[in-house]
Structures are given as structure tokens and as C-alpha cells.
């Protein structure tokens, strides 16, 4: 059964697509243009009542929330493709810890940066300079903690690439378009980690198939 993924042009669905490529799972995509408001269409809301992307359909099974989706496929196909969960229960616990760190600490400031710097004009609201300044400051504080962690291990959960690393890729990639990649590059171990995870064939394939939305 081919997995159907909704909204492939945007960052959260790309989190899912990287996982599917890493796990060697066949998929097809359905465009959903957030900028045009297609995520609020009644038919889409039947799949995702909160009106955000992504959603997956896998046969009769429908699932939304990108981190729930990548956990689902990493577990369902654990023995296929890249092992993204670790080999022991302790490694799994550490993967889950850093996946939560990404969701609760890393994502909020970088999401606000992306929204206000790159998408505000297209989505019809003014960029807030104070939000941008605070978000960059908060993201820097998070990255200082990452720098300490990555001075001790190659990846966030240890010496293996996992969902914890994968989940950071799509939004971090936007830092380049915002002219803020220095937040990564000025931290030695974070920079090496980013160079590694952003060079993975899975991410290159996703970018090739589904470029970021045109913002001009």
C-alpha cells in the first residue's frame, strides 16, 4: 500500500517525507497550498480538523501531526531501512527525549522566525520585529545547549542518526533563506551536526522532489 502524504511543499510534511525515504516506504503526495488557504477547505478539514499539514492516509488508516507520523513509521517498519529509534530501550528513551526537546524548545522560536521573516507578507500580516528579535535570542539559547550536547556525541541521541535529528531538518533549512544560518555556523559542534544531517541523501531527495514554496 502506497502512503499518501498531504502538503509536501511545507516544512512539517517534509519531516514525514524524510522519514519515509529513510525507511524505504513508497509514498505519493497531494498538494495543499497553505498560502492560498487550502488547508481550511471543508474536505481537508474532514481529514485534519485543526486545518494544518501534514496528514497521511495509509490504506484505511489516517494520521496527522508530523511527529506522531514519524514515530508511527519508525516503529512499524523498525527492521526496514534506517533504524531511527535506537537499539535499546535506553537509546529509544534518549531519542524520545530529544524529539520532545525539538518540539517544545527548538520549534517554537524557529517557527516564529520563519513565519515572521519569510511568510508574513504572503499570509497577510505584518512581520513583528520584537517577535523576530525575541525568537532569535531564544533559539540561540537552545542552540547553546545543543552545542554542549553535541560536543559529547555525534548526534543528539548518541552516535546514531535518529528521529531526534531528522525532526530538525526542514525548519533549520529555512535559516539560510532568512540569512540567519550564522546561528548554526558560529557553534562548532552544532555546525558539524547540521552539515552531516543536511547532507543525507533522504533530505536531498525530498528537496529535489518538493522544493520550498516560492516566497517572492
Q: Report the alpha-carbon angle 185-187-190, nearest 5.
A: 85
Q: For domain 89-200, give the CATH number.
A: 1.20.1050.10
Q: Whole-angstrom Cα distance, residue 194 to residue 162?
A: 13
> Residue written as cell 497531494?
30
Percent of the chain with pLDDT over 90: 89
pLDDT of residue 213: 61
Q: Which three cell numbers stand for residue 97?
A: 527525549
Q: How confident is the model at residue 126 (pLDDT cuts 50, 70, 90)?
A: confident
Q: Decide if 63 contacts 54 (C-beta within 8 A).
A: no
**Residue 215: pLDDT over 60:** no
pLDDT of residue 125: 85
Mean pLDDT for 121-136 is 90
| Residue 20, phi then psi, degrees to nearest 5 | -65, -40
Q: Whole-angstrom Cα distance, residue 128 to residue 185?
A: 25
Same fold, 3-83+204-215 and 89-200: no
Which residue(s) pair with 64 in the sheet?
A: 55
Mean pLDDT for 1-15 is 94
Q: How confident is the model at residue 216 (pLDDT cuts 50, 70, 90)?
A: very low
**Residue 152: pLDDT over 80:** yes
Each residue's pLDDT tens digit, 65-89: 999 999 999 999 999 999 999 999 9
Of 11, 19, 25, 3, which is closest to residue 162 (Cα–Cα)? Answer: 19
The ranges assigned to domains in the chain are 3-83+204-215, 89-200
> Residue written as cell 540569512?
179
Mean pLDDT for 149-169 is 98
Q: For domain 3-83+204-215, give the CATH number.
A: 3.40.30.10
> How many CA atoms, within 13 angstroms, populate the side-chain half-sphere of residue 166?
32
Q: Whole-angstrom Cα distance, residue 196 to residue 192?
A: 6
Q: Decide if 81 contacts 69 (C-beta within 8 A).
A: no
Each residue's pLDDT tens digit, 22-71: 999 999 999 998 888 899 999 999 999 999 999 999 999 999 999 999 99
Tell me, yes or no, if the pTM score tops 0.85.
yes
Q: Across the chain, what does the average pLDDT equal?
A: 95
Q: Whole-angstrom Cα distance, residue 64 to residue 62?
A: 7
Amino acid at each position: 500500500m502506497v502512503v499518501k502524504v498531504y502538503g509536501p511543499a511545507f516544512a512539517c510534511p517534509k519531516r514525514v517525507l524524510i522519514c519515509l525515504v529513510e525507511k524505504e516506504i513508497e509514498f505519493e503526495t497531494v498538494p495543499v497550498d497553505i498560502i492560498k488557504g487550502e488547508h481550511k477547505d471543508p474536505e481537508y478539514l474532514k481529514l485534519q480538523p485543526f486545518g494544518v499539514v501534514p496528514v497521511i492516509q495509509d490504506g484505511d488508516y489516517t494520521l496527522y501531526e508530523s511527529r506522531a507520523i514519524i514515530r508511527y513509521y519508525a516503529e512499524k517498519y523498525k527492521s526496514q531501512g534506517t533504524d531511527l529509534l535506537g537499539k535499546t530501550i535506553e537509546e529509544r528513551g534518549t531519542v524520545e527525549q530529544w524529539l520532545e526537546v525539538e518540539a517544545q524548545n527548538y520549534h517554537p522560536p524557529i517557527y516564529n522566525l520563519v513565519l515572521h521573516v519569510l511568510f508574513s507578507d504572503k499570509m497577510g500580516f505584518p512581520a513583528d520585529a520584537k517577535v523576530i528579535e525575541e525568537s532569535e535570542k531564544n533559539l540561540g539559547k537552545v542552540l547553546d545547549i545543543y552545542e554542549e550536547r553535541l560536543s559529547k556525541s555525534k548526534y543528539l541521541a548518541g552516535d546514531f542518526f535518529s528521529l531526534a535529528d531528522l525532526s530538525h531538518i526542514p525548519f533549520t533549512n529555512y535559516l539560510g533563506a532568512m540569512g540567519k544560518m550564522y546561528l548554526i555556523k558560529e557553534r562548532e559542534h552544532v555546525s558539524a551536526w547540521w552539515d552531516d544531517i543536511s547532507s543525507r541523501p533522504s533530505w536531498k531527495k525530498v528537496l529535489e522532489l518538493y522544493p520550498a514554496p516560492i516566497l517572492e
